């Protein structure tokens, strides 16, 4: 019997109306939500500093106030990680909503992931937040106890989907293939509309992308699934949209979690009808003995000024600004970084098209070093610098920024507690059958194509890409849609070629992973994001556009592989 699990949130700040849309749009058994990105934990940590009773996703509480009665009426159970740093506090707030609305919802929560009080003894330093990625079995315990709503803290993104599936089918810990299949389905739908056409490389092929619907995983007892969406909603579910999401924020063939290591390289995709993609063949292995820990630390303060340089002599104007600002600063910050975006065009027909942007970013442990002194100097230069001096906006006070780093602790060191609707606390034991994580052996590659006529065009003419961030690293997954394109891609898009196409990665460590069943290669670029998204080391701090930059780069592609009608 199939269990139908929908998702209504891919991040803290996603579409507020999505919970109601999913509940009203069609049949569901469960509705899930993922609210906890790496940056979100930092945001919630700062919230908790201001008020120890906060630290959870407040938007989820607003959604529940609007939709809890509707979910009960429709028999849909809700599972979300919106508890953040305070799942018990969110559960209490939900009970207040429940009582105020005169409802009879049974509310449970999962806790134990928060290691902040033991960070030093576990060798994790002195972070602002320290949260282990828990798995699905606490959720299972709560659902088996009859909970209508389960909120958690930091569980893996897929766990909010794996838990309902495992509870529904009665899977056990050694059902690794079934669990792995649910992990893969969960990985596809946990980022919301990225599975239904959002952020999709070939978006122009989707007829209606104005308001894409949120995804649904129809999971079977063997762990296979069909990814779909409610009828009549926008977007599309295709092998391409699902492939793109499978490649998001992974490394290679093994995708490790606290309950199972899913073999991404075994997943087979097939179109199962309009807006229906079947995922089958996923195998699983025992999980690693350690849990990943999300560590966020307040690293200092940052500020920035962006100067608009228009017309002629752009390089000379930039050099003058650099000399003046650095020479006038009363105190040089610990970090001072410049970047010049040559967005200007010669003989431009608009002023904007004639302008380049010079960005100066400063960071320092001392707020004063990047605050009023820096901002004042940037403004004081206005009448004493290059012709046409202007800023995009006056810089303000320095703002605190954080750094994300991953930590690892043995699962036996982390409590995992299911707090049932009646308040009973149940300890969840860690996995006993474990396996150290290792890369898979590189698979056999297809024979390269024979020498043939080529055309120099953008890689994106035939290839899609999806990119994202993991701390200071970025991953870029690249895929093609035919076997012959794959024969070319896997030999052409090497690490050296990616470094040539993306000069920002030229001096960094880049690792390639090959995924033949997806006709894909995935690249992990270490350190390209500096200390992570909150430090904003690049103008694209989460590397969301990195894949599109790669697709826009030109190289020699066999003419026979280009889509019909490609302009040459």
User: Looking at residue 274, what is its pLDDT?
Assistant: 97
- Give me the count of residues in the chain: 568
pLDDT, residue 471, reads: 85
Among residues of the chain, what percentage have pLDDT more than 70? 100
Mean pLDDT, range 320-327, rounded to an integer: 98
Within this chain, do residues 150 and 193 fall inside the same structural domain, yes or no?
A: no
pLDDT at 268 over 90: yes
Helices (H) and strands (E) in the chain, counts: 13, 25
Can you give the pLDDT at residue 42? 86
DSSP 315: H
Looking at the fold, whether 460 and 320 belong to one and the same domain comes out as no
pLDDT band at 99 (very low <50, low <70, confident <90, very high): very high
Its pTM stands at: 0.94
Give helix 239-246 / helix 176-189 axis angle, nearest 10°.
100
Helix (H, G, I), strand (E, B) or coil at 133: coil
> Burial, 494: exposed, middle or buried (Cβ in 10 Å; 0-12, 13-18, 19+)?
middle
pLDDT band (50, 70, 90) for residue 566: confident
For residues 142 and 156, state if they share a domain. yes
The reported pLDDT for the residue numbered 172 is 98
The DSSP secondary-structure symbol of 388 reads T
User: Is pLDDT of 535 > 80?
Assistant: no
- Residue 104's pLDDT is what? 97
pLDDT at 305: 96
Residue 21 included in any domain: yes
| Domain end (from 372, 397, 422) | 397
The answer to whether residue 446 sits within a structural domain is: no
Same domain, yes or no, for 164 and 189?
Answer: no
Using CA atoms, how far apart are residues 386 and 434, in angstroms rounded to an integer?
Answer: 63
Give the pLDDT of residue 33: 98
Listed range (350-354, 380-384, 563-567) with the worst mean pLDDT: 563-567
Range of the domain at 43: 1-113+133-170
How, if at all, do strands 30-33 and 77-80 pair? parallel
Average pLDDT for 281-293:
98
For residues 488 and 475, what is the distance between their CA atoms, to the nearest angstrom?
21
Domain C-terminal end among 255, 284, 313:
284
Q: Quote the pLDDT of residue 413.
A: 97
- Name the residue among 250, 359, 223 with its Cα closest to residue 303: 359
When pLDDT is averaged across residues 127-151 and rounded to a whole number, the result is 97
CA distance 141 to 150: 10
- The stretch 137-153 carries a mean pLDDT of 98
Q: Where does the pLDDT of residue 4 fall: very low under 50, low under 70, confident under 90, or very high at 90 and above? A: very high
pLDDT of residue 162: 98
| Residue 276 pLDDT class (50, 70, 90 cuts) | very high
Residue 440 covered by a domain? no
Confidence band of 532 (pLDDT split at 50, 70, 90): confident
Whether 163 and 216 map to the same domain: the answer is: no
In a domain, 314, yes or no: yes
In a domain, 423, yes or no: no
- Please give the Cα distance from 419 to 31 (Å, whole number): 20
pLDDT band (50, 70, 90) for residue 539: confident
How many other C-beta atoms lie within 10 A of the C-beta of residue 365? 12
pLDDT on residue 453: 96
Mean pLDDT value across residues 270-291: 98
Tokens of 410: 């043995």
State how far the Cα of 218 lies from the Cα of 270, in Å rounded to an integer. Answer: 14
CA atoms within 13 A on the CB side of 5: 35
Angstrom distances, CA of residue 350 to CA of 106, 236, 354, 355: 61, 37, 6, 9
- Three-state secondary-structure class, residue 189: helix
Tell me the per-residue pLDDT of 188-234, one tens digit each, with 9 for 90 and over.
999 999 999 999 999 999 999 999 999 999 999 999 999 999 999 99
Instruction: Decide if 193 contacts 200 (C-beta within 8 A).
Output: no
State the DSSP H helix or E strand holding residue 94, giving kind and residue range, or none if neither: helix 87-100
| Strand order across the 3-7 sheet | 268-271, 277-280, 225-229, 215-219, 3-7, 30-33, 77-80, 149-152, 107-111, 417-419, 425-427
Q: Are residues 157 and 189 in the same domain?
A: no
What's the pLDDT tens digit per position in 386-425? 999 999 998 988 888 888 889 999 999 999 999 999 999 9
Of 101-105, 247-251, 540-544, the range with the highest mean pLDDT is: 101-105
CATH number at residue 366: 3.30.70
Do 263 and 312 fall within a single domain? no
CA–CA separation, 6 and 78 (whole Å)? 10
The confidence score (pLDDT) of residue 541 equals: 86
162 and 187 part of one domain: no
Residue 398 CB partners (closer than 8 Å, separation 6+): 301, 302, 303, 362, 364, 367, 368, 369, 370, 371, 374
Q: CA 63 → CA 82, 85, 112, distances in Å?
A: 11, 19, 25
The Cα–Cα gap between 221 and 224 comes to 7
Q: Which of 284, 316, 342 is the last residue of a domain?
A: 284
Q: Indicate whether 126 belongs to any domain.
A: no
Residues 31 and 48 in one domain: yes
Residues 219/213, Cβ–Cβ less than 8 Å: no
How many domains does one find in the chain? 4
In a domain, 367, yes or no: yes
Q: Quick one: 197 and 319 in the same domain?
A: no
Residues 346 and 213 in one domain: no
Q: Is residue 432 part of a domain?
A: no
Nearest Cα to Cα of residue 495 among 509, 481, 475, 515:
509
Answer yes or no: do 244 and 313 share one domain: no
- Report whether pLDDT(534) > 80: no
The rounded distance, in Å, linking the Cα atoms of 558 and 321 is 46
| Cα 468 from Cα 542, distance rounded (Å) | 6
């Amino acid at each position: 019997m199939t269990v139908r699990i929908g998702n209504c949130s891919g991040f803290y700040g996603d579409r507020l109306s999505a919970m109601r849309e999913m509940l009203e749009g069609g049949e569901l058994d469960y509705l899930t939500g993922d609210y906890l990105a790496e940056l979100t934990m930092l945001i919630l940590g700062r919230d908790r500093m201001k008020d120890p009773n906060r630290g959870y996703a407040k938007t989820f509480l607003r959604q529940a106030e609007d939709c809890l009665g509707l979910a009960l009426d429709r028999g849909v159970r809700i599972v979300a990680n919106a508890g953040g740093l305070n799942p018990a506090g969110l559960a209490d707030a939900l009970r207040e909503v429940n009582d105020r609305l005169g409802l009879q919802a049974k509310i449970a929560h999962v806790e134990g992931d928060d290691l902040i009080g033991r960070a030093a003894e576990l060798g994790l330093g002195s972070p602002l937040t320290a949260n282990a990625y828990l798995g699905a079995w606490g959720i299972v315990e709560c659902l088996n106890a009859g909970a209508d709503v389960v909120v958690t803290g930091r569980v893996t993104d897929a766990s909010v989907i794996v838990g309902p599936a495992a509870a529904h089918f009665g899977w056990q810990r050694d059902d690794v293939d079934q669990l792995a299949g649910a992990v893969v389905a969960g990985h596809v739908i946990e980022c919301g509309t990225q599975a239904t056409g959002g952020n999709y490389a070939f978006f122009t092929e989707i007829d209606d992308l104005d308001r894409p619907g949120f995804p649904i995983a129809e999971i079977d007892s063997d762990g296979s699934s069909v990814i779909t969406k409610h009828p009549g909603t926008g977007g599309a579910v295709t092998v391409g949209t699902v492939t793109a999401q499978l490649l998001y924020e992974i490394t290679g063939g093994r995708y490790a979690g606290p309950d199972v290591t899913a073999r991404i390289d075994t997943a087979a995709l097939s179109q199962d009808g309009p807006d229906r993609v079947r995922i089958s063949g996923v195998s699983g292995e025992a999980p690693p003995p350690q849990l990943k820990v999300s560590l966020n630390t307040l690293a200092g303060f940052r500020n920035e000024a962006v100067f608009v340089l228009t017309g002629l002599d752009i390089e000379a104007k930039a050099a003058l600004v650099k000399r003046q600002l650095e020479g006038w600063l009363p105190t040089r910050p610990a970090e001072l970084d410049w970047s010049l975006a040559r967005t200007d065009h010669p003989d431009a027909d608009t002023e904007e098209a004639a302008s380049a942007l010079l960005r100066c970013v400063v960071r320092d442990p001392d707020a004063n070093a990047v605050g009023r002194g820096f901002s004042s100097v940037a403004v004081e230069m206005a009448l004493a610098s290059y012709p046409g001096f202007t800023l995009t906006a006056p810089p303000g006070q320095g703002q605190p920024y954080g750094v994300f780093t991953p930590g690892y602790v043995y699962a036996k060191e982390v409590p995992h507690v299911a707090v049932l609707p009646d308040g009973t606390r149940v300890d969840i034991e860690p996995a006993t059958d474990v396996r150290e994580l290792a890369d898979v052996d590189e698979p056999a590659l297809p024979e390269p194509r024979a020498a043939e006529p080529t055309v120099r065009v953008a890689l994106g003419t035939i290839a899609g890409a999806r990119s994202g961030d993991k701390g200071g690293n970025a991953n870029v997954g690249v895929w093609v849609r035919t076997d012959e394109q794959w024969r070319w891609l896997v030999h052409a898009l090497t690490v050296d070629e990616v470094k040539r196409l993306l000069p920002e990665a030229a001096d960094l460590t880049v690792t390639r992973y090959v995924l033949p069943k997806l006709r894909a290669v995935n690249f992990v670029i270490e350190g390209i994001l500096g200390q992570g998204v909150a430090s904003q080391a690049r103008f694209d701090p989460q590397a969301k556009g990195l894949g599109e930059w790669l697709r826009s780069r030109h190289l020699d592609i066999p003419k026979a592989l280009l889509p019909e009608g490609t302009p040459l």
